[in-house]
Amino acid sequence: MLSDITLTYDQQCRRCPRLAGFLDEVKLDHPDYFCRPVPPFGDAQARLLIVGLAPGMHGANRSGRPFTGDYAGILLYQTLHKFGFASLPVSTSADDSLRLHGCRISNAVKCLPPQNKPETSEIKCCNPFLANELAQMPAGSIVLALGNIAHQAVLMARGVKRSAYTFAHAARHQLPGGITLFDSYHCSRYNTQTRRLTADMFESVFAQIRQELDGLR
């Protein structure tokens, strides 16, 4: 039952049969990989929550930390460090010395999906975990959605009409309950190599977020 989810993370979760079975298969091929639901990284009371899509095969699914070990994490952690949200510009493993400052990173779907494409039912099944994360955030907090699926997942988690908040890069949405939602294209290899997302575009979003958070101090 989805109504029994009161946690922000469950390492033993197997509520999605397709994802659970896929993780079992990947674990056989890669015994040293994490191959479980990936926990959020950072303080639950942080004023900034970054929401990605799902763990990558050789990134978070290997390391056990969001955006760690694959290409998407390179630009993300460099930018977090530049704007004072991370102690280091590189995330190498779940047990390195990197610490986040006033920031938390999670995913719309906590488990690795085949071909990096979660099904709608899987996004909905995992959504209560995200809803609980959002509920723990202090008043005046900011959420950054990386990509449209993360954007839609945040709106679902807040129980608002999704058609009222259109995804667009650098868009800012004021949600009920005092949460501000920012959008960015996902920092994936495809988006950065095709220059759909450049470092300047990404940093511009973080500059807005930093300015708003600093104004709340």
99-119 mean pLDDT: 97
The percentage of the chain sitting over the pLDDT mark of 90, rounded to a whole number, equals 94
Please, are residues 50 and 137 in contact by the beta-carbon 8 Å criterion?
Answer: no
Identify the CA nearest to 64 among candidates 102, 16, 114, 27.
27
The percentage of the chain sitting over the pLDDT mark of 70, rounded to a whole number, equals 96
Whether pLDDT at 3 is above 90: no
Task: Name the pTM for this structure.
Answer: 0.96
| Each residue's pLDDT tens digit, 161-198 | 999 999 999 999 999 999 999 999 999 999 999 999 99
Q: Are strands 172-175 and 179-184 parallel, antiparallel or unpaired?
A: antiparallel
The residues, any chain, with a CB within 8 Å of residue 134's CB and separated by 6 or more, are 49, 143, 154, 157, 158, 179
- Across 91-205, the runs of DSSP E, i.e. the strands, are 103-107, 142-146, 172-175, 179-184
- At residue 4, the pLDDT reads 56
Which residue's entry shows tokens 């920092």? 187
13-215 has CATH 3.40.470.10 classification? yes
Please, are residues 142 and 85 in contact by the beta-carbon 8 Å criterion?
Answer: no
Whether pLDDT at 208 is above 90: yes
Alpha-carbon distance of 160 to 180, in angstroms, equals 13
| Each residue's pLDDT tens digit, 21-33 | 999 999 999 999 9
Domain ranges (residues) in the chain: 13-215
| SS3 assignment, position 203 | helix
Identify the CA nearest to 8 among candidates 133, 111, 138.
133
Per-residue buried b or exposed e for 70-81, using 16+ beta carbons within 10 Å of the residue's own CB: bbbbbbbbbbbb
41-45 mean pLDDT: 95
- Across the chain, the runs of DSSP E, i.e. the strands, are 41-42, 48-52, 103-107, 142-146, 172-175, 179-184
